[in-house]
């Protein structure tokens, strides 16, 4: 989108047009689009010097009255029920007023929270912890469970090896506990066959 032309450029366009130059000649002389020259000349002829001022009130998207009514309703309900989230509010409003056209959840969240200075949190997957590997076979997680009682009452131990990057199970082994296992730290009984 182009930027508004300064008052000096607008006045140059009017001077060149009043001197008898065509739209194409003015466009070429000032290195601006011919449509810009036509629009400024048309505004000048309709409103004189006052029409040359930049009118920013016409910039941006206009909010339709129906959309503004829906937003005010959502904002009122949010004020009355601060613990409710926007998705719940929109669900309640759509049930009560099925013909009311509602915008997206995110739009209402942004408008409600923009005045409070904080925007809603982004809807992204949780970040991977820095110490966790993302590359396959970069590191493995080894987990052991000792003297685990199975459903049939037999005591068992098992060991699993999982790739930390992909989450793939690389190995699993179940075996009976050793007879000489005492549970003391530092004993040879911790070594598996």
CA-based max dimension of the chain: 110
Q: List, for the chain, all residue ranges whose pLDDT scores fall below the cut of 50.
A: 184-193
Determine contact, residues 165/139, Cβ cutoff 8 Å: yes
Residue 25: what pLDDT? 92
Residue 181: what pLDDT? 56
Cα(6)–Cα(52) distance, integer angstroms:
9
């Amino acid at each position: 989108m182009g930027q508004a032309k300064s008052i000096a450029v607008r006045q140059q366009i009017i001077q060149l047009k009043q001197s008898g130059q065509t739209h194409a000649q003015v466009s070429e002389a000032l290195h601006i689009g011919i449509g810009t020259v036509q629009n400024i000349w048309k505004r000048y002829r309709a409103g004189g010097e006052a029409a040359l001022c930049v009118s920013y009130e016409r910039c941006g998207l206009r909010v339709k009255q129906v959309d503004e009514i829906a937003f005010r309703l959502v904002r009122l309900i949010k004020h009355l029920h601060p613990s409710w989230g926007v998705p719940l509010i929109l669900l309640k409003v759509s049930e009560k007023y099925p013909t009311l056209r509602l915008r997206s959840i995110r739009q209402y969240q942004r408008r409600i929270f923009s005045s409070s200075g904080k925007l809603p949190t982004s809807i992204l997957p949780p970040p991977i912890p820095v110490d966790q590997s993302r590359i396959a076979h970069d590191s493995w997680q080894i987990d052991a469970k000792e003297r685990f009682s199975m459903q049939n009452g037999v005591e068992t131990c098992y060991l699993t090896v999982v790739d930390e990057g992909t989450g793939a199970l690389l190995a699993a082994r179940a075996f009976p506990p050793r007879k000489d296992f005492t549970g003391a730290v530092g004993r040879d009984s911790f070594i598996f066959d």
